[in-house]
């Protein structure tokens, strides 16, 4: 963990998540207003989200690790890289930051501060898509940290850019962002009643991703028992 105290790490997580959600919601509003076409609106939303992730992870990564995501924080807690109390505080500020991000986007576009989403996003296919999205995100992060640490901002940004289009759910892959998006009745919204399925799938996909990539990256020499040669 970087050499910053908890207060500063929490501030970085809250600020980063707020800026991420402000980008997701704000670019969705702008894209929908300008494009008048769902595919073009999604493309605008995608490019903005992928780009801001590169920036935010590069800027805040050295401070807090740039999780901005309770599923990512849970994985690092399970890996023993965060204490339970720190992980809980990370998740709390991520959710608060996400909600603030929605409010920021609404203020910029002259909308009510919070507005319950009406967009239906539910069903087995959507939940499976969220599990896949979160699985891939964790694999990208952990493998990136192992082999291309300096490229992690780009790897995550590019992965989410792709996942917006190859997943049926448009890759929320983030419980805090999902909560924040339930409070905006705009292009990127999700009905509050649909949240439990999304959040559960995201956590499940993240944990499975951690297990799979942990096995995949385990070195053979470290995993295999030491064999002693017997000389006759």
pLDDT digits (tens, 9 = 90+) for 138-165: 999 999 999 999 999 999 999 999 999 9
pLDDT of residue 232: 36
Q: Which of 132, 145, 94, 154 is nearest to 209 (CA)?
A: 132
pLDDT digits (tens, 9 = 90+) for 23-56: 999 999 999 999 889 999 999 999 999 999 999 9
Residue 170, CA distances (Å) to 8, 60, 121 in order: 32, 25, 10
Q: Does pLDDT of 221 surpass 80?
A: no
Q: How many CA atoms lie within 13 A of 68 on its CB side?
A: 32
Q: Does pLDDT of 213 surpass 80?
A: yes
């Amino acid at each position: 963990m970087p050499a910053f105290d908890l207060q500063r790490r929490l501030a970085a997580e809250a600020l980063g998540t707020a800026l991420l959600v402000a980008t997701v919601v704000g670019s969705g509003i702008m894209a929908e207003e300008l494009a008048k076409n769902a595919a073009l609106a999604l493309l605008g939303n995608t490019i903005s989200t992928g780009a801001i992730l590169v920036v935010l992870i590069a800027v805040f990564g050295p401070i807090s690790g740039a999780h901005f995501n309770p599923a990512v924080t849970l994985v690092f807690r399970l890996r023993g890289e965060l204490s339970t109390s720190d992980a809980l505080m990370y998740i709390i500020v991520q959710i608060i930051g996400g909600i603030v991000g929605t409010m920021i986007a609404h203020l910029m576009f002259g909308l009510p501060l919070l507005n319950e989403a009406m967009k239906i996003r539910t069903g087995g296919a959507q939940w499976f898509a969220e599990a896949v999205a979160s699985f891939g995100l964790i694999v990208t992060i952990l493998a990136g940290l192992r082999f291309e640490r300096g490229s992690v901002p780009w790897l995550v940004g590019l992965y989410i850019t792709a996942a917006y289009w190859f997943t049926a759910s448009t890759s929320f892959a983030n419980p805090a962002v999902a909560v924040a998006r339930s409070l905006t009745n705009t292009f990127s919204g999700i009905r509050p009643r649909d949240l439990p399925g999304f959040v559960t799938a995201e956590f499940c996909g993240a944990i499975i991703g951690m297990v799979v990539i942990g096995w995949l990256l385990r070195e053979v020499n470290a995993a295999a028992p030491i064999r002693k040669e017997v000389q006759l």
